[in-house]
Each structure stands twice: as structure tokens, then as C-alpha cells.
Amino acid sequence: MGFRVLNYQKMHNKKTKEDKMNIDEILKKDKIRVLAVESSCDETAISIVENGREILSNVIATQIEIHKRFGGVVPEVASRNHIMAISSVYEKALADANLTIDDVDVIAVTYGAGLVGALLVGVEFAKALAYATKKPLVGVSHIRGHIAANYLSHKELKPPFMCLMVSGGHSAIILVEDYLKHTLVGTTVDDAAGEAFDKVARVLGLPYPGGPVVDKLAKEGNANINFVPKGILKGTLNFSFSGVKTAVINYVHKKTQNNEEICKEDVCASFQKCVVDELVNKTVEAAKKYGVDKIVVAGGVGANSELKAKMKELCEQNNITHYSPILSLCTDNAAMIASHGYYMFR
């Protein structure tokens, strides 16, 4: 999947005068409509967004129920289900926006990061669509898409800002200097935050995906167990979540072996506090270090209620404005891909 920003002409290695005119014509328009395809994990999603900010339709066919019984996403099963869903998701995206494909200017698609087989379904669909309709095609990074979800939720938001990107596969602090200029200032050295939530939920016998369940149970518990591992990284903007995850697993196994009762609520509250403190403290530290006065949260773990509350509190104390996308745009969707695709196309 070795392409970054391509259009159908470049993919076939010939760019005609007519193709160049097409792109120039689109750039002159007041309203540029991007249709985006997202299939990197277990959601088949297609959305149409105008000028990178206005959602005209946002269709998501989730496979969560299918993967639940396996306790996580099974890549091959995900790919097959994308194939089965993608055409009807496409038709619904156009119908919901009350548009035909002729009203769309640009096609965008997630090219990575994600499950290769799953990505391939979306990429092939988007390439075929762009080729058949002679529309430019833009390949979008899933991670950059998550950041762009905030442009859809907050119309006034513009770079520069510091972004905490926390999903099932990634945890990073990114300095967003401009729409397309992103610099990594901190990352996880082992597990992603969402991955740790999912694994902790699994060891507690809670359903997949673990994050929302842990979040819910944590509200009813007390953070009275010390899971802060010795390995927690100090003096760096990088994260490590493998230590805290192992601390929880060891705690649960020990209690089980001794036939002692486990208070799942307290385990969730203690684990969550440990992870949230680490994420929020380091992001605020990064914003101060780089002199930016806005923090943006992106990715599925951004839906976490304690993370939102703690980020709000610490940002207020430090005169930093804080943004996170509305709940439905935190997790995987294609509207965020269309938004970033628009800025790439421009």
C-alpha cells in the first residue's frame, strides 16, 4: 500500500491536460465535497463532507457484535465483512446526503494505519470509484483523520495546537503546526492506551471493546489500588502502559489464586486513574514546553469521561483551551477522513 497522496492519473502514471483542468476547476469551487471511505479496523464507514467541516452524511456499519465473541477483532473476519457491507454503506452515504456521485468532487480513503486486509477493501473500492468517475483520489492517514475529527466538532478550531491522539492502536502527543504539518513529540514505547484498556477488561472478564465498560465501572469504584508501575516513564514525553497493564493482570491472578474476591469497580477506577494521569499530565507538559495554548484530544480513548474531566481541569489551571470531538466522532468514522482529505486535496 505504498502511496500517500495520489490521484487516479498519477496511479496510472499519466497526467493529461484534461486531468489538470479537472483539479483546477474543483479548486475554484466554493463548495468542495469529499466522499471518504474508512475500513481500517472493524467499522465500514463512508461519509460526505463539504469544505472539510460540514458533514452531509456519515454512515458507519460496525462489526463490534461480530467480533465480541472472540474478545477482539479477527482480521480476516473484518475483511470479509467489509466486502459484504461496503456497497450498501456507499449507497446510504449518497442517499442520506441527498446527492448522486456526480455531486462529489474528490474521493478520499484511509490507506493506513490499520489491518492490511481490511484497509485493502476500502482502498480498492475507492480506487475503482475514482477511476470509474474520473475523480481525484486522496490517500489519508487514519491517525491524521482522528485529529481532523475535531475540525468537524469545533468549526472555529485552527492549528497550531497540541494533540493527544489515543486509540486502540496508537498513543501519541503530536504538535499540529498546520493542517498538514504534524510533528511527533511523544509516543508509547509499548502498548497503546486503548489496547491496555481492552486487555484489562479482558482479564476482568468484561466484554470487548473494554474502554467503555472500564469507564462505566470506574465511576462506581474507588481508585484505592496502587497500579503505578516502577517503569512509569519520568522526564520524557513518551508513555508506557505495559507496566500498569501487567500490574493489573498480576493483581487479578493473585486474588484469583487465593480465592479472594475482586472488586472490579475498584480495579477499573485505579487502572483508569493511572493511565489518565499519565496521558493528561504529559500532554499539558508538552503544550507548555512548545508554547501552544490549545490542546485537542483525538481517538477512541478520547471518549473516556475521566480523561475529559481531568483534561478540562488541568487545562483551566494552565490557561489552555481544550477541545475534544463529540462522542460519535471520537471512534472510527469516515467523516474525519473526508475532513483531512479536503485539506490534503487543497
Would you tell me which residues interact with Zn ion (CB under 5 A)? Answer: 167, 332
Question: Under the criterion CB under 6 A, does residue 44 sit at the interface with ligand KG4?
Answer: no
Which of ligand KG4, Zn ion, none interacts with 306 (beta carbon under 5 to 8 A by kind)?
A: none
Smallest gap from Cβ 28 to ligand KG4, in A, equals 35
The answer to whether 111 touches 153, Cβ cutoff 8 Å, is no
Rounded CA-CA distance 259/243 in Å is 24
Instruction: Say how far apart CA 275 and CA 278 lie, in whole Å.
Output: 5
**Torsion (CA) 156, 159, 161, 163 in degrees, nearest 10:** 90
Residues 176-195 that bind ligand KG4 (CB under 6 A): 194
Verify binding: residue 152, ligand KG4, rule CB under 6 A: no
Nearest-approach distance from CB 335 to Zn ion, in angstroms: 13
Closest approach, Cβ 39 to ligand KG4, in A, equals 12
> Is residue 283 at the binding interface for ligand KG4, with CB under 6 A as the rule?
no
CA 307, CA 324: separation in Å to the nearest integer? Answer: 10
Residue pair 239/193 in contact by the 8 Å Cβ criterion: yes
Residues 6 or more apart whose CB falls under 8 angstroms from that of 178 comprise: 159, 160
35 is a contact residue toward ligand KG4 (CB under 6 A):
no
Q: 135 vs 245, which CB is nearer to ligand KG4?
A: 245
Residue 96 is placed in which grid cell? 442520506
User: How crowded is residue 290: how many other Cβ atoms within 10 Å of its Cβ?
Assistant: 16
| Beta-bridge partner residues of 163 | 174, 296
d(CA 125, CA 139): 12
Among 300, 315, 335, 344, binds ligand KG4 (CB under 6 A): 300
Binding mask 239-278 for ligand KG4 (x = CB under 6 A): ----------------------------------------
Nearest partner of 32 among 342, 249, 272, 258, judged by Cα: 342
Torsions phi, psi of 189, nearest 5?
Answer: -90, -10
Least separation in angstroms between CB 44 and Zn ion: 13
Distance CA 27, CA 199 (A): 46
Is residue 166 within 8 A of residue 192, CB to CB? The reply is yes
CB of 299 to ligand KG4, least distance (A): 4
DSSP reduced 3-state for 332: coil
Q: How far is the CB of 190 from ligand KG4 (least distance, A)?
A: 15
* 139: contact with ligand KG4 by CB under 6 A: no
Stretch that binds ligand KG4, among 101-109, 167-175, 236-244, 318-326 (CB under 6 A): 167-175
Residue 215 binding partner per list ligand KG4, Zn ion, none, with a CB distance cut-off of 5 to 8 Å that depends on partner kind: ligand KG4
For 320, phi then psi, to 5°, come to -115, 135
CB of 14 to ligand KG4, least distance (A): 35
Q: Which is nearer to Zn ion, 211 or 221 (CB)?
A: 211
- Residues 190 to 229: which contact ligand KG4 by CB under 6 A? 194, 197-198, 209-212, 215
299 counts as binding ligand KG4 under rule CB under 6 A: yes
- Angle between helix axes 305-317 and 210-218 (nearest 10 degrees) is 70
| Positions that interact with ligand KG4 (CB under 6 A) | 41, 167-169, 194, 197-198, 209-212, 215, 299-301, 303-304, 331-332
